[in-house]
Amino acid sequence: MRNLKVIHYLLIGFIGLLSCKDSPKKIIKTEPIIFKKEGALQIFDSKKDSLLATIDIEIADSDYETQTGLMYRSAMKLSEGMLFIFPDEAMHSFYMKNTEIPLDLIFIKKNHSIANIQENAQPYDESSVSSKVPVQYVLEVNAGLVEKWGVEVGDSIAFEKL
């Protein structure tokens, strides 16, 4: 009798396992995150007092925006960038978690001068990229643009919000 109960429970368990077939996977379609022009930014060569570049910017100034940044975006035009605006000048660190495109990060002081540059931050890299000095702004652009434009520490930016 005891063996019958064990067999009964094993049979119920086996039937239960068989009935737990993989259900069809649900495909969740999400809308791609698109660039939203919220201003324009210029980068100036401090030595020659000349314009190096002008780009359209999306602005990240809320907690959610500064934490999310350019995550989950598959591309960005060469004429676009994201400007992070923090309330005060402080040390800031970034990482490339869930960021699909390589980026150049330009760390900018409160007076709009460029304090530090991190070129070619790689997609999905969770290593910390530090401003190394207190900054109030960070500009993210496609990797390679800092070199192409000739941007250097000491250059400056000007921007306007729409």
Query: Coil, strand or helix: which one is 13?
Result: helix
> From the CB of residue 117, how many other CB atoms can be counted at a distance below 10 Å?
17
pLDDT digits (tens, 9 = 90+) for 34-56: 899 999 999 999 999 899 999 99
What span, in angstroms and rounded, lies between the C-alpha atoms of 120 and 33? 22
Instruction: Look at residue 14 in the predicted model and tell me its pLDDT.
Output: 54
Residue 109's CB is within 10 A of a number of other CB atoms, namely 18
Residue 83's alpha-carbon distances to 66, 79, 148, 158, in angstroms, are 9, 13, 19, 11
CATH of domain 26-161: 2.60.120.1140
User: Comparing C-alpha atoms, which of 95, 98, 103 is closest to residue 127?
Assistant: 95
Per-residue pLDDT band for 31 (boundaries 50, 70, 90) equals confident
Question: What is the C-alpha separation between 70 and 56, in angstroms, rounded?
Answer: 15
Contact 13, 19 (CB under 8 A): no
Rounded Cα distance between 78 and 83, Å, is 14
pLDDT (tens digit, 9 = 90+) per residue, 73-110?
A: 999 999 999 999 999 999 999 999 999 999 999 999 99
Q: Spell out the domain ranges in the chain.
A: 26-161
Residue 141 — pLDDT band, cuts 50, 70, 90? Answer: very high
Q: Encoding tokens for residue 17?
A: 């396992």
pLDDT at 6: 46
The half-sphere exposure of 140 on its side-chain side, counting CA atoms within 13 A, is: 27
Enter the pTM of the model. Answer: 0.82
pLDDT of 11 strictly over 90: no
